Structure 1
Amino acid sequence: MAGRKWVKGLLAVVLALAMIFAPQAAMPASAAKSLSQLQKEQADLKKKQAEVAARLKTLKADKAQKQQYKAALDTQASTVQSQIDVLNQQINTLDADISQKESQIADKQKNIDANYEQLKQRLRALYLTGEASNLEVILSAKNVVDLADKTEAIQAITTHDTNLINTLKSDMDSIKAQKSEIETNRKSVAEARVALDTKQGELTSLVNETKAVIAEISQNESSANQENAKLAEQRKKADAAIDQWYKDYYASQKGTGGSGGYVSKGNFGWPLPGVTNITSGYGYRWGSLHKGIDISSAGVYGKPIVAADSGKVMMAGWGNYGTGYGGYGNVVAIDHGGGYSTLYGHCSSVAVSKGQTVKKGQVIAYVGNTGDSQGAHLHFEIRVNGVAKNPLNWFSR
């Protein structure tokens, strides 16, 4: 009797140890991170992509404005260059006029010097004749003819002296006026050169500003595009990680009844009866994969959505970021068994609950515009072992 008790006790210990050390099948061994961590990374990247996309849109608008600003700068620079050209012409004209007037002054100065020398000789001659006056010359005339000759000679000498003095005076006044004009022109040249320097500085500033505008546009666009490409690559890896997680998950769920015991053969029914218009197809857009199709038409809001196949509801309700359903709004996801699952997003409301078993064609939700949605539509996905596939592969249109 004691021996039997001892054997029973030994069996109990063995069974307990077996339960403790038995292999666990709930989570895939290949998943280095939990699904929630992967989904949170995916959601964060999607949010960052949206921010970069918005920034790129702003940059495009900003680029258009800056291109207009650059065009205005170019026009202004052209105007300033024209002003500089005019100032240079003015300076050249003034310099030429100054040179011409200085040459004229030099010629007149020669005439003045010659006439002045002639006048000095005339005065010297008068001085050497002593105190002889015009009256003495006239009284010394021998006869009337000699008197006429002497009178005419005196008048000629007097006229010559007067003309010589007047010429000297006129030339000196002309030189004085020309020198005044030269000084005025020199002042104008100096002012024009100051204005020229100012305009040259203004032109340099405009050119530098234009270059800076173009450099800023290029740098901002390049930076945003690089960031967008980097995020797209990270998003691609994050999507792949989640796809792999689902693949491993479905592999681990074989024979466990995760779909309520139903095993799908992939014979799916259309999820939105009476509405077949596809507004956005499956595939890459804006640097990421659109993992389903969008179905919509006029008056689609509130129409019933049906299960594409039988199975068990994996998710029903509002999809929060970090859960794998962020951005879908009100969403339903169904495990159909056989590695198949479907997802129905942006619903106005859901008609089932998580864990509920549903039949193919059963109403599960209603079309809406919730989550990251631009207008009422149904976002429909089909996954095989967790990897999103083009739903149209299962339908003929």
Structure 2
Amino acid sequence: MKRCYLILTVLIIGTIFSSTSVFAESANDLDKKLDELEEEKSQINQEANEAESKVNETEEKINENQEQQQETKSEMDAINSDIENTQAKLQAKEEEIATTNNKIAEKEEEIAKTEDEIEDLKEEIEALKDEIKQLEEKIESREELLKNRLRSIQQNGGNTSYLEVILGAQSFGDFINRATAVTKIMDSDKKIMEEQEADKEKLEENKVAVEANKEEMEEKQLALEEDKKGLEDTKASLVAQKQELDEIQGTLNQQMNQKEKLIAELEIEEEELHEIKLSAEEEQQLVDAQAAAVQQAIEEAKQKKNRLEQLAEEEAKESTNNSSNSSNQATNGGNGKFIRPTSGSVSSHFDPGRVHPIHGVVKAHNGTDFRNDKGDASVIKAAADGVVSYAGWMSGYGNTVMITHSIDGQTYSTLYGHLKSMNVSVGQSVSQGNQIGVMGTTGDSTGVHLHFEIHPGGYKNPVNPMNYLN
């Protein structure tokens, strides 16, 4: 009987020490886990600060880009104003050139008309010269005749008395004949003298007319040539001014093209910066969510440690055998394995060098795609126990859920993309196998499927999920 009591006492004491050892071991594990979580929290806080700095830096770049765009647009407005002014000046110069061309054409018509008049004057001058030549011949001939008469009178002893000729008539009839002859001679001499004087006057008039016509012709031609030369000079000046304006407009157009190219580049850069900012904000949001998930895991680990310590104290005091239950609670932290998030078959594997099916460029495929080829494939399940760190729209992935897991002292993030709908919210604790959403085709997707990723140590560290699934 005493032997039985002794055995029972030994068993009870053994059980107590065994229970205490288990609790101590579980508490130590939790302490280690807490230390790891605190270290991870510190690292995540650092990543959060870096993400925030990246967002702020990108925001500054966006502001600088927008200021540069505004400055460039102001410069473009100024260039546009200069172009409009230059075009107005060009139009005015073209109108001046057109007016000058018209005046030149009119002057050329006048010159052509004057040249015709000059030709007529030349013909008239030639006619006058011929007439002058004839008059000079007549005058010369008369002068020769007059010289002969004078020579004859001198040879006959001086001046012949017409009265003696008349009085020397032998009869009345002879008198009449002599008087008629004398009259004719006198009339002839008078006529010759009158014609001689008239021809001389005509000769002088013709010479004056010829000189006047020549002078008028030369003056008119010279004036027209000067007018034409002035118009040609004006036209050359206008053409030079227009050429200068053309060069100015060419320079302005080149500047405008450069500014348009710059503004296009700035707009593209702004879009890229907005994408970078969005990515940085998403990253910041994910890091914040992971920090919250780690904090929640820390709180849960502390609560679990407190419960274990409380149970250990109670069992030590009451000497009850609850060590097995405590042990079960201490190890309820995940088995370190991930289950398939859906029952669908794989449609696309993890591939860092895959050609994107939509964009047609080489872009890393950081996860595994599962198609909806089974009746229950549309149900998406949590691949392991964890805390939801993100639940919302993510560029490219559409409706996305991310879960932070702590398994065997290692932190993991899993991502579930292109969901039709989501059944969880940020901060929610989920167990392995819980439904978190429904398969869909949101975001950049070519059909209904699930895009699944695993990131050891937190997001931005993708690995091949198939190496981690049961």
Alignment of 1:41-120 (within 5 A): 41-120=68-147
Partner of 1:155: 183
Task: Specify whether residues 63 and 133 from structure 1 end up closer, same or farther in structure 2 by C-alpha distance, changes over 3 A only.
Answer: closer
Q: 1:122 aligns with which of 144, 149, 152?
A: 149
Partner of 1:237: 265
Task: Specify whether residues 259 and 170 from structure 1 end up closer, same or farther in structure 2 by C-alpha distance, changes over 3 A only.
Answer: farther
Deviation at 1:193, TM superposition (A): 2.4
| In structure 2, C-alpha distance between the alignment counterparts of 1:97 and 1:228, rounded to whole Å | 66
Q: 2:226 aligns with which of 198, 208, 218?
A: 198
Alignment of 1:356-371 (within 5 A): none
Deviation at 1:145, TM superposition (A): 4.2
Alignment of 1:335-374 (within 5 A): 338-339=394-395
Deviation at 1:123, TM superposition (A): 1.4
1:246 aligns with 2:270: no
Identity %: 17
Task: Specify whether residues 138 and 234 from structure 1 end up closer, same or farther in structure 2 by C-alpha distance, changes over 3 A only.
Answer: same
Aligned length: 249
- Of the structure 1 ranges 220-229 and 60-69, higher mean CA displacement relative to structure 2 is found in 60-69
Deviation at 1:84, TM superposition (A): 2.8
Question: Contact 2:128–2:206 (CA<8 Å) still a contact in 1?
Answer: yes
Task: Specify whether residues 40 and 193 from structure 1 end up closer, same or farther in structure 2 by C-alpha distance, changes over 3 A only.
Answer: same
* Structure 1 residues 121-145: Cα deviation after superposition (integer angstroms, max 9, x where no partner): 1111111111452333344444444
**CA-atom RMSD, angstroms?**
3.5
The aligned amino acid for 1:75 is N
Task: Specify whether residues 73 and 142 from structure 1 end up closer, same or farther in structure 2 by C-alpha distance, changes over 3 A only.
Answer: closer
Alignment of 1:1-397 (within 5 A): 24-25=50-51, 26-27=53-54, 34-131=61-158, 132-212=160-240, 214-257=242-285, 338-339=394-395
The aligned amino acid for 1:222 is G
Task: Specify whether residues 249 and 258 from structure 1 end up closer, same or farther in structure 2 by C-alpha distance, changes over 3 A only.
Answer: farther
| TM-score normalised per structure 2 | 0.46
Deviation at 1:113, TM superposition (A): 0.6
* Structure 1 residues 370-394: Cα deviation after superposition (integer angstroms, max 9, x where no partner): xxxxxxxxxxxxxx9xxxxxxxxxx
The aligned amino acid for 2:394 is G
Q: Which runs of 5+ in 2 are unaligned?
A: 1-34, 290-391, 397-442, 444-470
The aligned amino acid for 1:338 is M
Task: Specify whether residues 191 and 218 from structure 1 end up closer, same or farther in structure 2 by C-alpha distance, changes over 3 A only.
Answer: same
Q: Which runs of 5+ in 1 are unaligned?
A: 1-10, 262-335, 341-383, 385-397
* Structure 1 residues 280-308: Cα deviation after superposition (integer angstroms, max 9, x where no partner): xxxxxxxxxxxxxxxxxxxxxxxxxxxxx
SS at match of 1:130: coil
Partner of 2:401: none
Deviation at 1:60, TM superposition (A): 4.1
| In structure 2, C-alpha distance between the alignment counterparts of 1:179 and 1:337, rounded to whole Å | 111
Task: Specify whether residues 129 and 65 from structure 1 end up closer, same or farther in structure 2 by C-alpha distance, changes over 3 A only.
Answer: closer
Question: Contact 1:137–1:150 (CA<8 Å) still a contact in 2?
Answer: yes
Deviation at 1:27, TM superposition (A): 1.7
Deviation at 1:105, TM superposition (A): 0.6
Question: Contact 2:104–2:228 (CA<8 Å) still a contact in 1?
Answer: no
Higher Cα Rg: structure 1 or 2? Answer: 2
The aligned amino acid for 1:38 is N
| In structure 1, C-alpha distance between the alignment counterparts of 2:166 and 2:74, rounded to whole Å | 124
| In structure 2, C-alpha distance between the alignment counterparts of 1:145 and 1:90, rounded to whole Å | 62
Partner of 2:5: none
The aligned amino acid for 1:114 is S
- Of the structure 1 ranges 181-190 and 133-142, higher mean CA displacement relative to structure 2 is found in 133-142
| In structure 2, C-alpha distance between the alignment counterparts of 1:37 and 1:145, rounded to whole Å | 138
Deviation at 1:110, TM superposition (A): 0.4
* Structure 1 residues 298-354: Cα deviation after superposition (integer angstroms, max 9, x where no partner): xxxxxxxxxxxxxxxxxxxxxxxxxxxxxxxxxxxxxx96349xxxxxxxxxxxxxx
Partner of 1:5: none
SS at match of 1:257: helix
Deviation at 1:216, TM superposition (A): 4.2
| In structure 2, C-alpha distance between the alignment counterparts of 1:155 and 1:207, rounded to whole Å | 75
| In structure 1, C-alpha distance between the alignment counterparts of 2:133 and 2:89, rounded to whole Å | 65
Deviation at 1:114, TM superposition (A): 0.7
Deviation at 1:255, TM superposition (A): 4.2
| In structure 1, C-alpha distance between the alignment counterparts of 2:165 and 2:96, rounded to whole Å | 92
The aligned amino acid for 1:190 is E
* Structure 1 residues 224-275: Cα deviation after superposition (integer angstroms, max 9, x where no partner): 22111111111111222222222223223334229997xxxxxxxxxxxxxx
